[in-house]
């Protein structure tokens, strides 16, 4: 299969030899793809491109197996400059994509959301809110839809003034459930997350707890980005 110049982001880059990289890319039209970039460490071969993450590229490759071969790359955007705290947050986003998306399954709407999320992140918008919306959209793209607007027991609409108990495998209920079965959450948080209108810290933290609990259901290994963030936070303190 030969692909010519399709929009991509590099999610992860690792050394393959003294001159080459293995790239894990997120393509708008082809999903997650692994490529070998031969001679990539020689900047002259690829016109000075450094193969940085958080930048948008147009990429060409051919493949006969799971590992394709890069044949061309042009940079599209260079706006997202490396800032340590933002880069660690971006690393978390990239890591959950790598953990959850299957290879060679296109998710164009999620790709567009990923690009928007990075742009907002590096424009210094509220990263706690940005992350919650991306986590929600990621789960929706994978078919793990997060029910937020309806009580699973009664079928009635969520009321902002009520408290609910969110059962991870089904959704919110006004029926009291034990803490090991559910996440306690306000109706306002459920509706604000559904409408993507989170604003106050209480609702943001509740949304973080809910989505984090759901994601842990599908990611069974500790995230390296979490460890890195804790390490960075300790250094800053």
CATH of the domain at 67: 2.40.50.140
Q: Specify the pTM.
A: 0.89
Q: Which domain holds residue 147?
A: 82-237
| Gap between the terminal Cα atoms of the chain | 50
pLDDT at 50: 84
Instruction: Give yes or no: residues 89 and 201 share one domain.
Output: yes
> Residue holding tokens 């839809």?
145
Instruction: Give yes or no: residues 133 and 182 share one domain.
Output: yes
Label residue 235 by pLDDT band (50, 70, 90): very low
Last residue of a domain, one of 75, 102, 117: 75
Span 173-199, pLDDT tens digits:
998 877 777 999 999 999 999 999 999
CB 136 within 8 A of CB 193: yes
β-strands 56-62, 21-27 pairing:
unpaired
Q: Helix, strand, or coil here: 88? A: helix
CB 28 within 8 A of CB 106: yes
Percent of the chain, pLDDT > 90? 69
Q: Where are the beta strands (DSSP E) in 63-174?
A: 67-75, 163-167, 171-173
Q: How remote is the C-alpha of 214 from its chain's centroid?
A: 14
Instruction: Give yes or no: residues 230 and 171 share one domain.
Output: yes
Span 94-111, pLDDT tens digits:
999 999 999 999 999 999
Instruction: Give yes or no: residues 127 and 51 share one domain.
Output: no
Q: Mean pLDDT of all residues in the chain?
A: 89
Backbone angles phi, psi at 100, to 5 degrees: -110, -30
Instruction: Give yes or no: residues 71 and 90 share one domain.
Output: no
Q: Could you tell me which residues come within 8 angstroms of residue 124 by beta carbon, excluding any fewer than 6 positions away?
A: none
The domain tally of the chain equals: 2
Label residue 58 by pLDDT band (50, 70, 90): very high
Span 6-18, pLDDT tens digits:
999 999 999 998 8
Span 138-169, pLDDT tens digits:
999 999 889 999 999 999 999 999 999 999 98
> What is the average per-residue pLDDT within 85-99?
90
């Amino acid at each position: 299969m030969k692909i010519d110049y399709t929009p991509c982001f590099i999610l992860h880059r690792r050394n393959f030899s003294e001159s080459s990289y293995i790239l894990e890319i997120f393509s708008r039209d082809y999903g997650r793809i692994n490529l070998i970039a031969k001679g990539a460490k020689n900047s002259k071969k690829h016109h000075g491109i450094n193969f940085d993450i958080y930048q948008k590229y147009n990429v060409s490759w051919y493949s006969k197996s799971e590992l394709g071969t890069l044949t061309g790359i042009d940079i599209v955007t260079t706006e997202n400059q490396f800032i340590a705290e933002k880069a660690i947050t971006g690393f978390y986003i990239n890591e959950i994509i790598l953990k959850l998306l299957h290879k060679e399954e296109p998710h164009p709407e999620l790709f567009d959301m990923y690009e928007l999320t990075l742009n907002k992140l590096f424009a210094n918008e509220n990263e706690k809110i940005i992350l919650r919306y991306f986590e929600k959209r990621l789960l929706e793209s994978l078919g793990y839809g997060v029910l937020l607007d309806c009580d699973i027991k009664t079928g009635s609409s969520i009321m902002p003034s009520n408290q609910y108990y969110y059962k991870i495998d089904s959704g919110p209920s006004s029926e009291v459930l034990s803490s090991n079965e559910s996440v306690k959450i306000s109706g306002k948080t459920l509706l604000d997350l559904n409408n993507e209108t989170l604003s106050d810290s209480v609702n943001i933290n509740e949304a973080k707890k809910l989505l984090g609990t759901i994601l842990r259901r599908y990611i069974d290994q500790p995230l390296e980005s979490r460890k890195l963030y804790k390490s960075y936070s300790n250094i800053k303190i």
